[in-house]
A and B are shown apart, each in its own frame.
Chain A
């Protein structure tokens, strides 16, 4: 049983460049989440998908950020015109929607972004 896979693990980019991260969730998981984590803080929710539908976006997700999950499987998170404040670890997670009390959410290893 493979876990949540993220690529690339590390990315260094110059300010103003675009970057894209990919996430492959656990197979059969219909929910996929993106979080952002800065040093010394807990992860903060960015957005989530149920199958291919993007159901919620945080106010943290500015217009420069776009996430897709075109076939309800893998997802991409693109950041356009990167800024130094975008430097963080971007975490992807997935879960299986069932039950009324929610389910375990499994996280990937994260993608570190450094904007120089």
Chain B
């Protein structure tokens, strides 16, 4: 079953704008990971945030985690056409480090 739910399901923006995606989950977690997936390809790891962290940055990416609300957000700043992809959040609830994925946000960045 899917634990995470991403919001919005689809997002279309212009190049240079910021894109924000949200993820909600249901159970306690060890960490939350964000992935990018281009059409028909595998998953590319973007960032991991631990349950004791509130914010992390990596290049143009900023991830926040609010464990009290069981939610996370991914911000991509100054988006580029190459950022067009599906973005998934995945939660690690422990017990083997396996991930439970959400349904994804399809991001389209237009020139």
On A, residues with C-beta under 8 Å from B are 4, 6, 31, 33, 40-45, 48, 50, 55-56, 91, 93, 95, 97, 100-110, 112
Instruction: Tell me which of B45, B95, B99, B101 has the highest count of chain A C-beta atoms within 10 A of its own C-beta.
Output: B99
A107 lies within 8 A of B98 (CB)? no
On B, residues with C-beta under 8 Å from A are 2, 4, 30-31, 33, 35, 40-45, 48, 50-52, 88, 90, 92, 94-104
Closest-by-CB residue of B relative to A112 is: B40
B97 lies within 8 A of A45 (CB)? no
Chain B contacts for A106, CB-based, 8 A: 45
A31 lies within 8 A of B35 (CB)? no
**A102-B41 contact in complex given A42-B88, A42-B102, C-beta closer than 8 Å:** no
Choice from B4, B40, B96, B104 contacting A55 with Cβ under 8 Å: B96
B50 lies within 8 A of A101 (CB)? yes
Closest-by-CB residue of A relative to B46 is: A104
Once the chains are docked, how many angstroms separate the CA of A105 from the CA of B35?
A: 10
**A42-B103 contact in complex given A102-B31, A107-B43, C-beta closer than 8 Å:** yes
**A108-B52 contact in complex given A42-B88, A48-B96, A102-B92, C-beta closer than 8 Å:** no
